[in-house]
Amino acid sequence: MSTAKVKNRHPFIRLLNYASVYKRRVALATLYSVLGKIFDIMPPVLIGMAVDIVVQRGDSLLGRLGIRDLSAQLIILGLVTLIVWTLESVFGYIQRIYWRNLAQSLQHDLRVDAYDHVQHLEMAYFEDQSTGGLMSVLNDDINQLERFLDIGASDVVQILTTVIVIGGIFFFVAPSVAWMAAVPIPLIIWGSFRFQEMLGPRYSAVREQVSMINHHLANSLSGIATIKSFTAEDYEAERLRIESDEYVERNRRAIRLSSAFTPLIRMAIVCGFIAITVAGGQLALSGALDIGAYSVLIFMTQRLLWPLTKLGETFDQYQRAMASTNRILDLLGIKSNVIDGGKRLPLDQVRGHMRLDEAEFAYSDGREIIRGLTLDVPAGDTVAIVGATGAGKSTVIKLLLRYYDVTGGSVTLDGIELRDLKQEDIRSAIGLVSQDVFLFHGTVRENIAYGRNGDIPDELIREAAMIAEAHEFIAELPQGYDTIVGERGQKLSGGQRQRLSIARAVLKDPPILILDEATSSVDNETEAAIQRSLERIVVGRTTIVIAHRLSTVRNADMIYVLADGQLLESGHHDDLVLLNGLYASLWRVQTGELVLAQAIH
């Protein structure tokens, strides 16, 4: 079935399809709700029987069943009452346990499945999405669905049970007036569905605005240092106020409509109640209806119609939940354009030869970044890729990691097209040290060991830190390797974060190492330390270096110079300087030769 057709299906049907593994638990929870409601309905019948015993005495229902002694009738009625109340309490307890546990299980599965699905989407998807919007779906929307399943689902089952069971009792006790109690029900049901249609879009708008608020909060908290540096606190607070006002207004529109539902239902209910009271009373006065049966009708009318007033609240919860369900299942329905291949390449079999052959790449909006690019990275060699900003260097790295697929040509690892390989195998073979270091909120030890399964011995972590020349500063931290680095490593300097990133790559010990501007934003002393680390870890593995500082790549086995997504020059450092092209120009600028020449002239 196409994605468009699935999206057009009712969210409740989509949810049932997703939760098909819970069919048995849903059936049991429904059964317990039904039984609980049946026993909850019984007290009015018991009250009618008590009135029947007092008024009819020996001719009461129990009397006609052969129990003539009035005391015995009352004792039996008391025992039946005890049993009914006990069973109502037992089934009420069990149904709450079942529905709430079901809500928790479904909530857990949805959150884990959605998060796992999002993680496997291609990088292009995240460039078009906000973190706050995704957080809204993964957290707020799933919680909204859980709240409905906790209470609302059971309420729907019990309301239906009430209508069916009490309707049956009415037609058994007094069929001539039973239809009067049933008259408001079609109106109530029609009104419920009509309100549902009107409320749906309003609650969808509310959920969308929640995403906008989450997006704003996530952005602001991530950029709090920038906000403070520009003294923009008041500006950001005003932006949030505007978004929050819009959320309040959208909620008001939904609340105005949903709040009108219950009063209208109450007016329909009172009409049925009055009709039964008057018509049933006339039958009782004329002797056509027993006093006990009339008592049952009065109490049962209230039991039949009054719970329908909860439909307003229940439908309100339901509409909120369905708006959230659509957003969750729409997210789960997104397909990645980067599809796993079927071939496996075990890590111990990776030689490390990577190649781009006439590679082309353009974004979905048509912007061409890479044009007919051929680069060869032999196994065990160190290859540098240089060029001005916007030349396509970082895009090449994304293609090698298969964050994106080429739109033309091919990218291979050991002669195998990347599209034919498992993404897990490709990325397990490559260690990335990026200029944009991301550290997780946790300890230094946890960040160095990140990505390695199982418990990593402290000796290996310490050894990796030493190779990265990070051990010395780590030892000076308040808790050493157990020091919390803060979100994104904000408690550490840029150079310290970079060295932890290198230690992480050392511990991974991949056959291919990619260094993406690893020393671009550090001071000279830190750069020297990082360079010493890199000289040790590149030995025996394929290394691809992206660099602005040409001094860091002058000893590379091959240097590729890119311009506007194309290969402009290639060769060793000395050859490229003698070529007197773009590389030589960049070299002169960085070494100060051009500045000196201009000063002389």
Cβ contacts of 72-79, under 8 Å, gap ≥ 24: 74/50, 77/46, 77/49, 77/50, 77/53
Q: At 543, phi and psi to the nearest 5?
A: -130, 130
Residues 6, 18 contacting (CB under 8 angstroms)? no
Assess whether pLDDT exceeds 60 at residue 40: yes
Task: Give which of 78, 60, 58, 56 is closest to 68, Cα–Cα.
Answer: 58
| Average confidence score pLDDT of the chain | 81
Assess whether pLDDT exceeds 80 at residue 187: no
Determine the Cα–Cα distance for residues 574 and 580; give it in Å rounded to an integer.
Answer: 10
Assess whether pLDDT exceeds 50 at residue 121: yes
Instruction: Kindly state the average pLDDT of the residues 23-31.
Output: 90
The token duo for 582 is: 């773009």
Q: What is the pLDDT of residues 428-437, one digit of tens each?
A: 899 888 877 8
Pick the range with the lowest mean pLDDT from 23-27, 298-302, 447-451, 455-459: 298-302
pTM greater than 0.75: no
Confidence at residue 351, expressed as pLDDT on a 0 to 100 scale: 93
Q: Count the helix, strand and coil residues of the chain and give each as a percent rounded to the nearest 5.
A: 70, 10, 20
Pick the range with the lowest mean pLDDT from 18-22, 84-88, 470-474, 530-534: 530-534
Cβ contacts of 77-84, under 8 Å, gap ≥ 24: 77/46, 77/49, 77/50, 77/53, 80/46, 81/43, 81/46, 84/39, 84/42, 84/43, 84/46
Share of the chain above pLDDT 90, in %: 16
Assess whether pLDDT exceeds 50 at residue 493: yes
Confidence at residue 251, expressed as pLDDT on a 0 to 100 scale: 87
Under DSSP, is residue 152 helix (H, G, I), strand (E, B) or coil? helix
Q: What is the pLDDT of residues 339-396, one digit of tens each?
A: 888 899 998 899 999 999 999 998 877 788 899 999 999 999 999 999 888 888 889 9
